[in-house]
Structure 1
Amino acid sequence: MSVLDSIIEGVREDLAARRKPLAQLQEAMDKAAPVRDPLEKLLQNELSVIAEVKRSSPSKGALATIADPASLAEQYENAGASVISVLTERRRFGGSLDDLDAVRSRVNIPILRKDFMVDEYQFFEARAHGADVVLLIVAALSKSQLNDFHQLAEGLHMRALVEVHTHDEMERALEISPRIVGVNSRNLKTLDVDASAFAQLLPLIPKDVVRVAESGISKRSEVEFAQNNGATAILVGEALVRAANPELAMRELLGTDRISS
């Protein structure tokens, strides 16, 4: 079993334990904060930041305690992040829907629920907790699931970050005409990082699509490499949560005159 398969197995088990009637989620959706669409700003900015609230990862283990995820998210917003990514997967990443609720209550910019979306229920759940964007990992979904889940997210007025790792996955992703595509340089089956994925895959994404570089970005030269290969946004977690001053860390990654808001 690959790392990705193992994570998804745990996600399904945890989902089964917390699943509620859809009618209850509908009530919560009716009361949820209005959707904040990140697309226009992400398309306009020369380089946007999706800043991540992440306590741990399968590859690195514990990263940061993050006792107050909302406070960290506020620092990201103050530093110019365009989107806050909140990990809600519990077993490998130490996240929760409580983290999503806390962040939603304190920031005014869009929030990405970063989890392994493998069941329709999770999309209604994401909207009920105030998410504006969800993650669709092509490697984790069949062709029909990818298409159906993308349509479901759009139907709930959320955007989807469609994540790819290979040329084959890129072809499948582009078939659904996504508006935001992420190239993850970390192979989720082996956890190895190969930045050449940015050079190979980012140029294949149409110019009218937000092009996100994910994983393996911890210093300015890596940001420049991603941007030189076509990235219009970067998703950064580890480098920020481990920093003593996350706002300063973000500015060092981008250069003080390159902050996007």
Structure 2
Amino acid sequence: MNILEKIIAQKKLEIAALDASALRRAAEQSPAPRDFLAAIKRRRFAPRPSLIAELKRASPSKGILAPHLDLFQVADIYTQNGAAAISVLTDEKFFMGKLETLRDLRFTHQSHIAPLPKDFTIDESQIYEARANGADAILLIAAALTDDKHFADLHACALSLGLTALVEVHDEAETERALKLKDVKLIGINNRNLATFEVSLATTERLRPMISPEIAVVAESGIFTAADVERLANINIDAILVGEALVTSDDIPAKVRELSGMESQ
């Protein structure tokens, strides 16, 4: 069993404990989501892609990265130094994340930029739960959703709740499946091979030409320097999602400015 299969098995256990009906009612009664897609497309014609900055303490591939990170302090740093949106790890078992972080960021800390909960969504109840806890977007990972109808149903569910759906792909076959989704507007290309955990920006360079210019594209994983961002800007990437390079930096504000392009403005 590979890491993705282990994560999906754990998610099924977590989903079994959810009350989908109650979560749906809570989602429908929550404040309207903000426009995550518009937030990252505002800089579409700027020299640099928009930065989706991630709050991340650990990952299965790299282990513990920043266990004592003050997530709300770092969220403020992201906001003040040019990030267009925030990605929040909410998976607890494998990434040391918490759903409460998303909720507190949106409703208690009242962050001004849109949050994306970073999790493995395989059931509608998780979408309702994320929406009820302040999500403005949802992540749908093609590799975790192998049934096309189920994939399409989850995408439609997210859109019906007013959420932006970030559809993540890793290869050509997944990209083709993503492009068949009705009203797909945002595709993320993950440069990390889920089988080997090898990372290469060449993945984004290879898959980007398959996607229409009308669909916004996010490059994920393997982005550490301004040179990496420039490389992706040259192939018309709309946004980058960065976690490790930010949370492990000795100077987080400077690294955010470097990758967001604020320092060059």
How does the TM-score come out when normalised to structure 2? 0.91
What is the CA–CA distance in structure 1 between the aligned matches of 2:31 and 2:259, rounded to whole Å? 31
What is the CA–CA distance in structure 2 between the aligned matches of 1:67 and 1:225, rounded to whole Å? 29
**Structure 1 residues 92, 195: closer, same or farther in 2, change over 3 A?**
same
Which stretches in structure 1 are left out of the alignment for 5+ residues? none
What is the CA–CA distance in structure 2 between the aligned matches of 1:256 and 1:98, rounded to whole Å? 30
Corresponding residue of 2:7:
7
Corresponding residue of 1:228:
234
Partner SS for 2:139: strand
Point out the more displaced range, 145-154 or 193-202.
193-202
The partner residue of 1:170 within 172, 175, 191 is: 175
The Cα shift of 1:44 comes to: 3.0
How does the TM-score come out when normalised to structure 1? 0.92
What is the CA–CA distance in structure 2 between the aligned matches of 1:115 and 1:258, rounded to whole Å? 33
Is 1:211 paired with 2:186? no
Corresponding residue of 2:85:
83
Which structure 1 residue ranges, 4+ long, deviate > 4 Å from structure 2?
Answer: none
The Cα shift of 1:21 comes to: 5.2
The Cα shift of 1:234 comes to: 0.2
The Cα shift of 1:253 comes to: 2.3
The Cα shift of 1:204 comes to: 1.8
The partner residue of 2:160 within 155, 160, 174 is: 155
Is 1:146 paired with 2:148? no
AA aligned to 2:162 is: H
Which stretches in structure 2 are left out of the alignment for 5+ residues? none
The Cα shift of 1:136 comes to: 0.5
The Cα shift of 1:201 comes to: 0.6
Equivalences, count: 257
**Structure 1 residues 256, 81: closer, same or farther in 2, change over 3 A?**
closer
What is the CA–CA distance in structure 2 between the aligned matches of 1:190 and 1:139, rounded to whole Å? 14
Partner SS for 2:262: coil
Contact kept, 8 Å, 1:203 with 1:230, in 2: the verdict is: no
The Cα shift of 1:101 comes to: 1.3
Corresponding residue of 2:21:
22
Taking only the aligned residue pairs, the percentage that are identical comes to 42
CA displacement, residues 49-70 of structure 1 (integer Å, 9 cap, x when unaligned):
1110111011100010245322
The Cα shift of 1:237 comes to: 0.3
What is the CA–CA distance in structure 1 between the aligned matches of 2:158 and 2:116, rounded to whole Å? 12
AA aligned to 1:39 is: L
What is the CA–CA distance in structure 2 between the aligned matches of 1:184 and 1:74, rounded to whole Å? 26
Corresponding residue of 1:252:
258
